Structures are given as C-alpha cells and as structure tokens.
C-alpha cells in the first residue's frame, strides 16, 4: 500500500492507496505546537483502529506548504512506516523533468493537483482548490502550469472578519437564500459566501477569456461542497485530486533513475 501525505495550513491529510483506490483517509489538525511523537501516535492509533499494518506500506510520499511542520510529520511518518519518505519539492521536479515555473515558490499541492488533472483529462483545465486558500491553477493541453491565482479561502475570510472585528460573531459556512442579510450572521454569509460565488464565476470567465478557449473546470478541496450555486460551472469534483497527484509523482520517481 502507498502512503501519501499532504501537509496543509489547516490539516495534514494522510491517504492510504491500495487495490487501485484510496481506501482510508486520515485528517489531522496542522497544530504548530505539535511534536513528531504526537503525530506518530495519532497515525499509529488510526492504523490500529482500522486493522492496518504499517509494515504493509510499499511507499511514502509527502507534500507540504507548511515548512515548520514538514520535518515533524516526515519524522513521524518515517518512524511509523519504517521507510524513507519521497519529498515533493523542487529537487524532485528537476529529477522528473517537470516543467514547473518558479519551482521554489509554487505550492507542492498545486503541482500534485496539476499532475493528477493532466493524467486524468489530457486537456486544458482550471483546477479550483477550496481549502485554507482558494486557488485557481490553469493547466494547458501540454500539461504545463500556465498560471496560478490565489485568494483567501472561505473559512479564512470569515475567521479573519471574526478575529479583527469586535462585535461580529464567527458564523457557519452556509449559503444564505438571499443576498439581503436580515441579521448579523446572515449578513456575513451573504457578503462572504455569495461574494465568493461571484468571484469564482468571474475568475473562470476571465481565465477562459485570456486563454481564448473553453476549458474543463475541475474542483477539489475540503470546502468545495459549500459552493452549490456553482455546480453548473464544474465539470468534475475530485476530492482526492491532490493525493492522486502524489501517487502519480511517487510512481514516476520510482521509475526514474537517481
């Protein structure tokens, strides 16, 4: 079984791939005060609960956009699964001859998303990832990333409003029925949630106009389920797109000589 780990700003997601599917997914909080030991204990407990043996792991690949957590999670995973991790980084891009613009700047998760989308569709795509950040990664029909746009994610925007405004409450991520808020909670939901619907619609329209062509819209990320009004724009919702990209990159790295 292959172990793929994506370290994000809100969560560390560990996926277990076997029998040609993602059979198990563990989501841990990206706690900055955590230790390698705490991560390893949580992983080991999960494996025990699921009746899985760490010794069955045939490979381990890790991507991260949180440098402070990277060594801790890597140490924990290598201890639990007793094997070295393949790290998704600029050195791996170079070894695999991936055409990545500014490889030391781009998020590893965006690279994984692009690799998975190109493998699946082989055409121009806009990949929208609804996570801590809302990202739009545009991929051409040769598999190259031609540009990225980044905005604060839904939860990030609402949390920032709550943290920086004394009298406003923290509100649930729910779409209101009307843009005319009748109380404080509904007003924030109308402004942020429906505002983001408009932003996503406009970004897709603008990207297509700049490319001067239609293209597939592929959606992933933990908050994609919130955007119901945008369903007509989405060609596919792929929850495990990042993990799929990590799996493909691990397989490519195993085929490539050092």
Instruction: Specify whether 109 is catalytic.
Output: yes
Q: How many CB atoms lie within 10 A of CB 4?
A: 29
Which is catalytic among the residues 109, 119, 141, 244? Answer: 109
How far is the C-alpha of 187 from the C-alpha of 179, rounded, in Å? 8
Looking at the annotation, which residues are catalytic? Answer: 109
């Amino acid at each position: 079984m292959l172990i793929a780990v994506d370290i994000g700003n809100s969560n560390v997601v560990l996926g277990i791939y076997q029998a040609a599917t993602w059979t198990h997914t563990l989501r841990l909080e990206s706690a900055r005060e955590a230790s390698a030991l705490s991560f390893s204990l949580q992983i080991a407990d999960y494996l025990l609960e699921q009746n899985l043996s760490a010794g069955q792991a045939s490979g381990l690949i890790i991507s991260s956009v949180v440098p402070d957590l990277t060594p801790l999670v890597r140490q924990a995973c290598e201890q639990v699964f007793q094997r070295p991790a393949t790290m998704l980084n600029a050195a791996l891009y170079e070894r695999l001859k991936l055409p990545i613009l500014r490889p030391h700047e781009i998020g590893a998760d965006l690279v994984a998303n692009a690799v998975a989308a190109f493998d699946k569709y082989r055409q121009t795509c806009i990949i929208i990832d609804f996570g801590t950040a809302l990202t739009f990664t545009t991929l051409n029909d040769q598999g190259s990333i031609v540009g990225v746009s980044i905005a604060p994610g839904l939860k990030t925007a609402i949390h920032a409003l709550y943290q920086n405004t004394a009298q406003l409450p923290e509100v649930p991520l729910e779409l209101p029925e009307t843009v005319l808020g009748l109380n404080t909670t509904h007003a924030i939901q109308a402004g942020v949630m429906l505002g983001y619907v408009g932003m996503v619609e406009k970004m897709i329209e603008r990207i297509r106009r700049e490319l001067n062509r239609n293209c597939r819209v592929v959606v992933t990320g933990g908050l994609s389920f919130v955007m119901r009004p945008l369903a007509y724009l989405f060609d596919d919702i792929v929850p495990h797109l990042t993990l799929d990209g990590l799996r493909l990159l691990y397989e490519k790295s195993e085929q490539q000589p050092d």
